[in-house]
């Protein structure tokens, strides 16, 4: 019997316009009404994740920033696994040297030094993954990252590294140049304290080695007296693999690539077909 369901957001719970479908919402509410713990496990910041959840009228615990932070459904921080400040400085220096755009995720949200690029990159990513989507709607949704303060603008990332009120959770690197992205990856390869994952062909997600979705999920269910064998994980990309390896039932989205699908027990429908709802309803 499944007692906990962990679902990724982008490419999984969210459709092509970054929203939760009514079918997915109703399936989550039904699972919660039956006592099943539903937790969102995402690379997004807590602020970005709850923005979308609140729009849909849902309240869930959140494993955010790939496991660097875990929050209760009330928003209380249950755990935090940041990157040390000196290591963060080193990461930023190496990424800057490789001339790749990156954002910095903290305990107080995500930051960019180039807000126009923050929007345009998201539009390009969503449109490439969903060519049938309405571009005007995608641009409007992407612009909300800036308008609603989901990603904040800062002049220099050093202002975050030098201020004790900020904990550094993740670096999110974007490039549509595969060689540049690989060069950035290789530039960080010797930093053993880091975990480097990806939620798409055009990005790298850099966190503390212990900040991974699977590690966070294992701790989350253990604290609630739930066995990993009673846990289902749903996702579509490489930053979900650590969950697939831990959960008793692993579910790949229909829009996931072949390699991700080959790792999972079950393949559900795509994110635009409310595949999360189908996966949930099959086990409750």
pLDDT in tens, 270-283: 999 999 999 999 99
pLDDT the model gives residue 130: 65
From the list 37, 45, 43, the residue with the least C-alpha distance to 11 is 43
Confidence of residue 202 (pLDDT cuts 50, 70, 90): confident
Has residue 125 got a pLDDT over 70?
A: no
Q: How confident is the model at residue 119 (pLDDT cuts 50, 70, 90)?
A: confident
- Would the pLDDT of 162 be above 80? yes
Question: Domains in the chain and their CATH numbers?
Answer: 4-80+212-281 (3.40.50.1000), 85-208 (3.30.1240.10)
CA-CA distance, 155 to 284, in Å (whole number)? 49
pLDDT at 129: 61
Distance CA 60, CA 41 (A): 10
Q: Which pTM does this prediction carry? A: 0.89
Please report the pLDDT score of residue 83 as a whole number. 98
Mean pLDDT of 195-221: 94
Q: Would the pLDDT of 101 be above 80?
A: yes
* Residue 51 β-bridge partners: none
Could you list the active site residues? Answer: 8
pLDDT value of residue 147: 73
Instruction: List pLDDT tens digits, range 252-266.
Output: 999 999 999 999 999
CA dist., res. 284 & res. 64, Å (int): 25
């Amino acid at each position: 019997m499944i007692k906990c369901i962990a679902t990724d957001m982008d490419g999984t719970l969210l459709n092509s316009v970054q929203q939760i479908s009514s079918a997915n919402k109703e399936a989550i509410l039904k699972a919660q009404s039956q006592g099943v713990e539903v937790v969102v496990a995402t690379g997004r910041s807590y602020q970005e994740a709850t923005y979308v959840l609140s729009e849909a009228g849902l309240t869930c615990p959140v494993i955010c920033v790939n496991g660097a932070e875990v929050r209760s459904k009330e928003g209380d921080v249950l755990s935090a696994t940041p990157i040390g400040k000196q290591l963060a400085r080193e990461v930023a220096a190496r990424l800057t040297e490789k001339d790749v755009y990156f954002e910095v995720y903290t305990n107080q949200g995500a930051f960019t030094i180039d807000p126009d690029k923050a929007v345009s990159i998201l539009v390009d990513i969503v449109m490439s993954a969903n060519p049938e989507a309405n571009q005007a709607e995608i641009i409007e949704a992407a612009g909300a990252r800036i308008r609603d303060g989901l990603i904040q603008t800062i002049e220099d990332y050093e202002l975050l590294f030098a201020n004790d009120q900020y904990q550094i959770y993740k670096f999110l690197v974007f490039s549509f140049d595969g060689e540049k992205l690989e060069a950035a990856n290789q530039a960080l390869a010797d930093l053993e304290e880091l975990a480097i994952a990806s939620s798409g062909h055009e990005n790298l997600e850099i966190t503390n080695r212990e900040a991974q979705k699977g590690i966070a999920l294992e701790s989350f269910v253990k604290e609630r007296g739930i066995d990993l064998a009673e846990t289902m994980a749903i996702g579509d990309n490489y930053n979900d693999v650590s969950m697939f390896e831990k959960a008793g039932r692993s579910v790949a989205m229909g829009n996931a690539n072949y390699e991700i699908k080959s790792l999972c027990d079950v393949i559900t429908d795509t994110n635009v077909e409310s595949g999360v709802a189908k996966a949930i309803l099959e086990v409750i």
